[in-house]
């Protein structure tokens, strides 16, 4: 667990944790308070008015952050022949079939996204208990089971992220790095919130987006005024 320094405590104390901030003000505070010796991630947490235990209240999807994630995303692809070559040409880090299956079964999971062509899902299905709990199982609804492997690889490398509501009705995601400009962070914020709003499930009743908070990896949380965010 990271040690909280006196400086971090002082910065945290300087923020009114009960005040609701405008989006731009909140992002400015996050950048100001990201004082670690590494490039901190900027993270968002959204409390939704859903109960994901019910199938008609599940919130899940993908969104492309226009300014990227600031991370080097490693992509594994299950494909054969021409599709395998297309994946490699598009920048996939690992491409294979039975050999990739065996590698993953042996515990080699050094990637953050898995893509598969439809004909490979019989093979990939054997990895459900390994990839499923890690949120890595390819899914046609998320565009990770597709014949267009090159397009999927480029999307994964180019700022596309997946989101899924947790048991408590909260969605967490990274919006970039503290070194990003305020303008780029705002673009990513807007794109992410818009995707969450579009993913509103039919079973959600009452207020959908209830709370939004921003933070950096080591910095304090900053509450965002939901009323400022349109169409929520």
pLDDT tens string 35-52: 888 999 999 999 999 999
Treating both helix axes as pointing N-terminal to C-terminal, what angle do 81-89 and 149-157 enclose, rounded to 10 degrees?
A: 30
Domains of the chain plus CATH, in order, are 15-68+160-228 (3.30.190.20), 75-157 (3.40.50.790)
For 25, how many CA atoms within 13 A lie in the half-sphere containing its CB?
A: 11
DSSP conformational letter for 2: P
For residues 144 and 230, the model is more confident at 144
Q: What is the pLDDT of residue 179?
A: 95
Residue 1: predicted pLDDT: 44
Distance of CA 188 to the CA centre of its chain: 11
> Considering the entire predicted model, what is its pTM?
0.83
| Three-state secondary-structure class, residue 113 | strand
Name the DSSP letter for residue 126.
G
Here the tokens at position 222 are 């900053």
Confidence at residue 13, expressed as pLDDT on a 0 to 100 scale: 54
Asked if residues 215 and 232 have their Cβ atoms less than 8 Å apart, the reply is no
Count of beta carbons in the 10 Å neighbourhood of residue 85: 14
Instruction: Give the DSSP H/E element, type plus range, for residue 137.
Output: none
- From 4, 1, 72, select the one nearest 36 (Cα to Cα): 4
Report the pLDDT averaged over residues 80-108: 97
Q: What is the CA radius of gyration of the chain?
A: 19
∠ CA 155-156-157, rounded to 5°: 90
Q: How many angstroms separate the CA atoms of 105 and 58, rounded?
A: 29
pLDDT in tens, 181-202: 999 999 999 999 999 999 999 9
| Dist CA 73 CA 93 (whole Å) | 9
Per-residue pLDDT band at 33 (split at 50, 70, 90): confident
């Amino acid at each position: 667990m990271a040690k909280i320094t006196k400086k971090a405590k002082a910065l945290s104390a300087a923020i009114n944790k009960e005040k609701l901030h405008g989006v731009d003000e909140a992002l400015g505070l996050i950048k100001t308070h990201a004082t670690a010796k590494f490039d901190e991630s900027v993270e968002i947490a959204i409390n939704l008015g859903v109960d994901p235990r019910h199938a008609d209240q599940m919130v899940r999807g993908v969104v492309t952050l226009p300014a990227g994630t600031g991370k080097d995303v490693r992509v594994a692809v299950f494909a054969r022949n021409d599709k395998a070559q297309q994946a490699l040409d598009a920048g996939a880090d690992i491409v294979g079939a039975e050999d990739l299956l065996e590698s993953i079964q042996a515990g080699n999971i050094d990637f953050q996204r898995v893509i598969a062509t439809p004909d490979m899902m019989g093979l990939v299905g054997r990895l459900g208990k390994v990839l499923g709990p890690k949120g890595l199982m390819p899914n046609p609804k998320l565009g990770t089971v597709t014949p267009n492997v090159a397009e999927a690889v480029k999307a994964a490398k180019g700022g596309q992220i997946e989101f899924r509501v947790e048991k408590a009705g909260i969605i967490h995601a990274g919006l970039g790095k503290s070194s990003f400009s305020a303008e780029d962070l705002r673009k990513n914020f807007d794109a992410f919130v818009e995707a969450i709003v579009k993913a509103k499930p039919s079973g959600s009743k009452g207020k959908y987006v209830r709370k939004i908070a921003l933070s950096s990896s080591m910095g304090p949380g900053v509450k965002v005024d939901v009323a400022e965010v349109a169409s929520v």
